[in-house]
Structure 1
Amino acid sequence: MPRRKLMHYEYCDNADNIIQAGKPLYERVKGKWKTSFFANENPLVVELACGKGEYTVGLAKVHPDKNYIGMDIKGDRIARGSRAAIEAKLSNVAFLRAGIQYADEFFDAGELDEIWLIHPDPQVRERDEPKRLTNAHFLRRYAEYLKPGGLFCLKTDSDFLYHYSLEMISEDSNYRILDYTDDLYHSPLLESHYGVKTHYEKIFVAKGYTIKYIVCQRV
């Protein structure tokens, strides 16, 4: 294993804002994020497949009155997010090192106020439909974690995933679509992103891709 990755993994083992296998909270944080980790009653927001945590950290800076959890399986990625949160002295940020398929082990029914999904892999091949993070299976699971009135937000550069997700969400009775756009940067909805961009989003925009956005509500 490359030395750099080893350093990231060692960092994760010791970082207080990272929850992962082997740490006490990993097996008992479900339903207890507010009491056991954040020690407040502020709303809980999760960014799934958060990568380097750019959105998690960016929104946490804007909303100190909300608690943010970035979830990703890659330790070297969340190590970078963890460092960014610590450097910014953010006490409202946590990172959870786990795969999305295991989210049931970490989030209780109705525990979350918002779920964000930022530029996920669109998985365009038909055989990869089970991996799409906005398929019917995943949407039902997100609905379990969201409280009534909670928000699910998707941001993507993929035309395919955008239209697929609109269709899947509209067919799911757990959600009501509040708004959507196929060109976020020329939409009033851009204001709700507070200028937060991921590294890859900057690349997509520079190449001329439009950014799509959907926000829906748990009914």
Structure 2
Amino acid sequence: MGRNKKLQKFAELHELPNVYLNFGVNSPIIELPNGQKQDMRGQWKAQLGQDKPLVLELACGKGEYSLGLGQMYPDSNFMGLDLKGNRIWTGAKKALEQGLGNVFFLRAQIDFIESFFASEEVDEIWITFADPQAKKPRKRLTSPLFLSRYRNILKKGGKIHLKTDSPLLYEFTLEQIEAQGLPLEFAHDDIYSLAEQDPNWGITTYYEQLHRGKGATIKYARFRLD
């Protein structure tokens, strides 16, 4: 994609009614669709409308999982987080085209996720086809560092879902779950081989289709932090 096209999409993010923006390093200030800027910790459910559960999709890319879950669960709000503005633009436009009033996007750096949400403000977290960070274990989205961050925003009993093609990230996640004694609700290293399918698995992202086309099996784990 050309630089001018990316810049145009980035500029349009400010005009989309389902996009929130953060530009500061470790700053809690969020730019709302109306242009107002404020600390949104503890305010999300009121801002997004109705007292619905809030589910995050981390490193969401174009937000394919947020879009799919938003269609399946109209009584929950879904928010995709990513730093890539052009990808968020694509997901936000699709949500508007599909009339999904419960799907939103936050352009922000996930490293500072504690700056954006209050304690127990988030009900569930999805991590779908994230970069396995082969050479940087601390940057994996299920590393002890990130799990400690999620503890500060996830409600008690809230679930974390990992869906990946990466054996490295999958096994690493299971190791963290065991090391910390976390409740593991379900895990399988080839979910599509199972006779009984969870409807949530049926949402396929671009990267899932790409990896499955190359023969990769899809792994899934669901666990809690308490």
Given the two structures, how large is their TM-score scaled by the length of structure 2? 0.90
Measure, in 1, the Cα distance between the counterparts of 2:195 and 2:63: 25
Q: Offset at 1:142? A: 1.0
Q: CA deviation at 1:56?
A: 0.6
Q: Which amino acid aligns with 1:83?
A: K
Q: Which runs of 4+ in 1 moved over 6 A?
A: none
* Distance verdict in 2 for CA 1:41–1:188, change over 3 Å: farther
Query: What is the CA distance between 1:11 and its match in structure 2?
Result: 1.4
2-structure distance, mates of 1:107, 1:188: 38
Find the counterpart in structure 2 of residue 218 from structure 1.
225
Residue 109 (structure 1) aligned to one of 112, 119, 125: 119
Match of 2:51 in 1: 41
Distance 2:37 2:108 in 1: 10
Alpha-carbon offset, residue 172 of structure 1: 2.1
What's the TM-score once normalised by structure 1's chain length?
0.93
- Paired residues, what number? 215
What is the RMSD computed on CA atoms of the aligned residues?
1.6
Structure 1 unaligned spans of 5+: none
Q: Any residues of structure 2 matched to 1:172-187 within 5 Å, and which? A: 172-173=180-181, 175-187=182-194
Q: 2:145 matched to 1:144?
A: no
Deviations 1:101-152 (Å, cap 9, x if unpaired)?
Answer: 1111111111111000001111112xx1121111111011112211111100
Q: Structure 2 CA distance, aligned partners of 1:155 and 1:114? A: 14
* Aligned residue number for residue 154 of structure 1: 162
Unaligned runs of 5+ in 2: 23-29
Q: Corresponding residue for 1:193?
A: 200
Percent identity between the two aligned chains: 40
